[in-house]
Amino acid sequence: MMCVLLVLLGGIGTGYWFTRGLPYADAEQQESRNEPERPPAIHVDVVLPKKGGMDRVTTQPGTVQAFESVQLYAGVSGYLKKQDIDIGYRVKKGEVLAEVDVPDLDKQVQRHKAAVEQAVARVEQMEAHITSAEADLEAAKAAVPQAEALAKSKAAALRFREQQLHRMRDLFALKSIDERLVDETTEQRDAAREAEIAAREGVNSARAHLAAAAAKVIQAKADATEARAEVRVAQAELEKAQVMVKFATILAPFDGVITERNFFVHDYVRAAAESGTHLPLFTVQRTDLFRVVVQIPDRDVPYADVGDPATVEIDALPGQKFPAQLSRLAQSEDPQTRLMHVEIDVPNSTGRLRHGMYGRVTILLDHSEMLSLPSSCLVSKTEGKGNVFVVHDGVARLTAVEFGSDNGLLVGILKGLKEGDEVIAHPSAGIGEGSPVIVENDVNEQAHR
């Protein structure tokens, strides 16, 4: 009896659930059918804004040139007597490369040496003349006071004879003496007068001799000065001849390599100073350091400075890069090409660089800390403002930005983004505000494309 009762109660409960619960299930299904379907997520690539992307960089063709290259000519004409080097030889600074036979110049050196010795001897002779003239001058100086003293003595003797003649004439007037004595005294007075005149002339003569002796000293000194000048002239001629002899020996101006040779031993070579076109004996180039010549276009000229980082790539050496920096610039553009000549020094530690090679040179002209993005990220832009899509929690959010420079590949972001923002790289027309997206690429390895 009890079992029958339990079965009846279970059947009643089941029927109630079917009659009461089924309407609720139908209602939920009806609500789900009324809701709009969620659009499918779009697969996108993203980039991260980064600093330095707006660096001003120029890449231009570059030509490798030897840092120093010298064409060596003979300084004198003659036959090539010695030549121990050839193309490709490595030489050291000061090493003898060749010698030219110049016997006539050797004779000139000997002749000019003799001329110098002769001029030096003449200087000694003129200095001896100065000594002799100065001695004569001292003697002439001593003769002047002696002549003056003699003149004074003769003047005193004349006065005495005149007084004696006066007394004789007085005595003759008194008839105290004979007239003969007056005549004798008169003759003595006249002789004393002549002697006094001669003494005065002697003084003048002594003074004239003094002046002549002084003039001879001056002349002797002038002759000595001229002789010393002749020594200098002769010495200069000797040095000139010796230099010409040195020109017959060609020395290496620096450590380098012989890249050109145009003559052989016994060939006649002409001096570089002679008229006409002459080939150099050798060309020596320095190879431990090269200069890479680059022509920078007008738009990049204002940003070029000595010390700007540069990277040199040579076509003949693929995969090898030479870090360097801008070494010198011309500070002027070629008015025909509107290009400025700049040079970059590159050490040749590997020895693989050669004069005449070419390649590409990338110069960092200006570094910027501004954030940058590829221009393709912008969905609209006008007068320095635009929009980008930034991924937040799996959906695209339209974000307004302000940008600065735009080089066609990258734009500099001034405002609106920060480092770490995931910006959709190539937003398609189907992406809008709030669109669900799936990021496909690894943003940690994303670089500007």
- Count of Cβ atoms closer than 10 Å to residue 65 Cβ: 16
Token pair, residue 398, equals: 């339209």
Q: How does pLDDT run across 147-179, given as a tens digit for each residue?
A: 888 888 888 888 888 888 888 888 888 877 888
Cβ-based burial of 196 (10 A; exposed 0-12, middle 13-18, buried ≥19): buried
- How confident is the model at residue 28, as a pLDDT? 46
- List C-alpha distances in Å: 112 to 108, 185, 202, 242, 249: 6, 76, 51, 10, 20
Tokens of 258: 């012989």
Rg, C-alpha atoms of the chain: 58
Predicted pLDDT at 15: 43
Question: What is the average per-residue pLDDT within 38-62?
Answer: 83
Say if residues 248 and 109 touch (Cβ distance below 8 Å). no
Q: To which H or E segment does residue 71 belong?
A: strand 69-72
How many percent of the chain have pLDDT more than 70? 88
- Give the confidence band of 129 by pLDDT, cuts at 50, 70, 90: confident
Residue 277: band (very low, low, confident or very high) from pLDDT cuts 50, 70, 90? low
Confidence band of 8 (pLDDT split at 50, 70, 90): very low
Q: Tell me, what's the pLDDT at 256?
A: 92
DSSP 444: G
Higher pLDDT, 344 or 49: 344
Strands 437-439 and 42-44: parallel
| Rounded Cα distance, 258 and 386, in Å | 62
In this prediction, residue 5 has a pLDDT band, given cuts at 50, 70 and 90, of very low
Between 381 and 31, residue with greater pLDDT: 381
Q: What is the pLDDT of residues 33-48, one digit of tens each?
A: 555 566 788 888 898 8
- Tens-place pLDDT, residues 75-91: 888 899 999 889 999 99
Residue 256 near residue 285 (C-beta atoms within 8 A):
yes
Q: Is the pLDDT of residue 307 over 50?
A: yes
pLDDT band for 332, please (50, 70, 90 cuts): very high
Other Cβ atoms closer than 10 A to 392: 13
pLDDT band at 241 (very low <50, low <70, confident <90, very high): confident
Average pLDDT, the chain: 83
Question: What is the amino acid identity at position 417?
Answer: L
Look at 33-37, 59-63, 92-96, 342-346 and tell me which has the smallest mean pLDDT.
33-37
Of 438, 432, 404, the closest CA to residue 49 belongs to 404
Which of 226, 188, 201, 98 shows the shortest CA–CA distance to 148? Answer: 201
DSSP 198: H
Q: Give the model's pLDDT for residue 289.
A: 94
The predicted structure's pLDDT at residue 168: 84
Confidence of residue 11 (pLDDT cuts 50, 70, 90): very low
Residue 46 contacts by C-beta under 8 Å, 6 or more apart in sequence?
A: 391, 422, 423, 424, 425, 439, 441, 443, 446
pLDDT of residue 60: 95
| pLDDT tens digits along 344-369 | 999 998 889 999 999 999 999 887 77
Residue the block writes with tokens 């190879």: 287
Confirm whether pTM is higher than 0.85: no
pLDDT given for residue 438 in this prediction: 85
CA 198 to chain centre: 82
Q: What is the pLDDT of residue 13?
A: 43
DSSP secondary structure string for all residues of 262-312: ---TT-EE--TTSSS----SEEEE--SEEEEEEEEEGGGGGG--TT-EEEE
Contact 90, 257 (CB under 8 A): yes
**Contact call for residues 105 and 76 (beta carbons, < 8 A):** yes
What is d(CA 78, CA 181) in angstroms, rounded to the nearest whole number?
101
Query: Is the confidence at residue 109, as pLDDT, over 60?
Result: yes
The yes-or-no verdict on residue 336 having pLDDT over 90 is yes
Percentage of the chain beyond pLDDT 90 is: 29
Mean pLDDT confidence for 253-261: 93
Point out the least confidently predicted range of 201-210, 262-271, 339-348.
201-210
Tokens standing for residue 226: 């001229």
Q: Please, what sign has the CA dihedral across residues 118, 121, 126, 132?
A: negative
d(CA 166, CA 158): 12
